[in-house]
Amino acid sequence: MIAAAPPAAPETIVLKHDDGSKDGERSLGASGHFVKLQCPQGKWWLSEVRIYGARYGTPEPPLDQFTITLCDNEFKTLKYIKKPYSIFSERGAWRDYPVPVPPLELPTRQVAGKELEPLALWINVAFNPSSTKGVYVGYDNSDLECFSKTGLPDHTPAEIPDKYNWMIRVVITNSPPQQAPVGLGEWLEPRRPLVPWDKAGLIELKNDDGESDGKQSMGAAGPAVRFQNAPEGAKLARLRLYGSRYGSGYDPETTYADYYVYDDGLRLIQTGRIPYALFTYQERWVDVPLKPVQVPGAFSVLINPSAHQYKGIYFHYDKDVAAAHSKYGRMPEETSDLEEPWDWMIRAYVEVPKPAAQ
């Protein structure tokens, strides 16, 4: 695409990589549709995404939502918005579905003495499909160059071997919006990145060496780990887990793992829920802030994601341990020893009370 001089008059452009006729279609479980966004020079706002597709599943659209994400050139989330499946109102109807969004200013960079340069961006559309709900997205092979990939935001995407392009179009405008129309939802910020534990003034309790030696998911059960040497009066403030989620067809924002904090006498100190959405499909450290609660010198944490074949969390473990402090179970009263001694990559962070001023 050749960058044109910035237009003087208000202009709306449809960015596309297809000729309007479908050459095939796909629904992507645990993945999504990436298309590259190449804006002309100048300042632009994204105002609509158009998806050529057809919904499958129940006759009436499910109450679920799908996600549109604006990503940078490294496929990291800049902003995202949720949209109802009901946009695809009629099951099996192939159409160019307009998805209006509140105007979103697209990032640019200023090169000295030149026009505003648009940044390379990607749009991702993810339907989180299952066998009973999903949207087939059309693809087109009229363009010899491929501007499409498969994957989810914040994950390394996969190339498309057949070099086709998703029939996902993006409408941009150069006239700044006066006022966003109501009822279009809102663009959201991605979840905040991890806060380094030492900068948060916390003491780290851990049993693992930071290098994974394997991962496991357990049906209807989860990892339990015992921590020792918490200082007198310490408050548990945060957990950090190394893992990833799997499966599709569930809403990670409203699907939870239960956690239990308990002492050596199995007395419950705190319990709560961890949203699956903290985990991605690629393993990484996940930060779980807790309501700070006082713990004894030795205490345990059990996490039960209620996993099954289509929904769960892989927890990683470390085998380079002198003495294992880990078990697995459904709840504190129902834990079992592991077949081999290892320690889960689960860490606890405690606040220590400051000495009272004299």
In the complex, the residues that contact Ca ion under the rule CB under 5 A are 19, 21, 23, 140, 142, 209, 211, 213, 318, 320
245 with 252: CB under 8 angstroms?
A: yes
254 with 82: CB under 8 angstroms?
A: no
Q: CB 205 → Ca ion: shortest distance, Å?
A: 17
Q: CB 299 → Ca ion: shortest distance, Å?
A: 23
The residue among 44 and 342 lying less far from Ca ion, judged by its C-beta, is: 342
- 101 to each of 113, 153, 182, 186, how far by Cα in Å? 33, 19, 10, 8
Q: Which secondary-structure segment (H or E) carries 214?
A: strand 214-216
Q: CB 283 → Ca ion: shortest distance, Å?
A: 14
The residue among 19 and 333 lying less far from Ca ion, judged by its C-beta, is: 19
CA 181 – CA 47 distance, rounded (Å) = 11
The residue among 198 and 211 lying less far from Ca ion, judged by its C-beta, is: 211
Q: CB 150 → Ca ion: shortest distance, Å?
A: 19
* Residue 93 DSSP one-character state: -
Q: CB 197 → Ca ion: shortest distance, Å?
A: 19
| DSSP string over 126-152 | E---BTTEEEEEEEE--SSS--EEE--
* Residue 219 DSSP one-character state: B
The residue among 242 and 259 lying less far from Ca ion, judged by its C-beta, is: 242
Q: CB 124 → Ca ion: shortest distance, Å?
A: 22
CA 243 – CA 217 distance, rounded (Å) = 10
40 with 81: CB under 8 angstroms?
A: no
The residue among 164 and 260 lying less far from Ca ion, judged by its C-beta, is: 164
The residue among 19 and 60 lying less far from Ca ion, judged by its C-beta, is: 19
Q: CB 51 → Ca ion: shortest distance, Å?
A: 16
The residue among 90 and 320 lying less far from Ca ion, judged by its C-beta, is: 320
| DSSP string over 36-74 | EE-PPSS--EEEEEEEEEEEEESSSPPS-EEEEEEE-TT
- 196 to each of 34, 240, 339, how far by Cα in Å? 31, 11, 33
Which is nearest to 120 in space by CA: 145, 154, 147?
147
Q: Which secondary-structure segment (H or E) carries 34?
A: strand 33-37
Q: CB 322 → Ca ion: shortest distance, Å?
A: 12
- Which pair of structure tokens corresponds to residue 162? 């057949």
The residue among 274 and 346 lying less far from Ca ion, judged by its C-beta, is: 346
Q: By three-state DSSP, how is residue 120 classified? A: coil
CA 1 – CA 348 distance, rounded (Å) = 51
Q: CB 208 → Ca ion: shortest distance, Å?
A: 7
- 154 to each of 122, 191, 283, how far by Cα in Å? 12, 11, 12
The residue among 21 and 58 lying less far from Ca ion, judged by its C-beta, is: 21
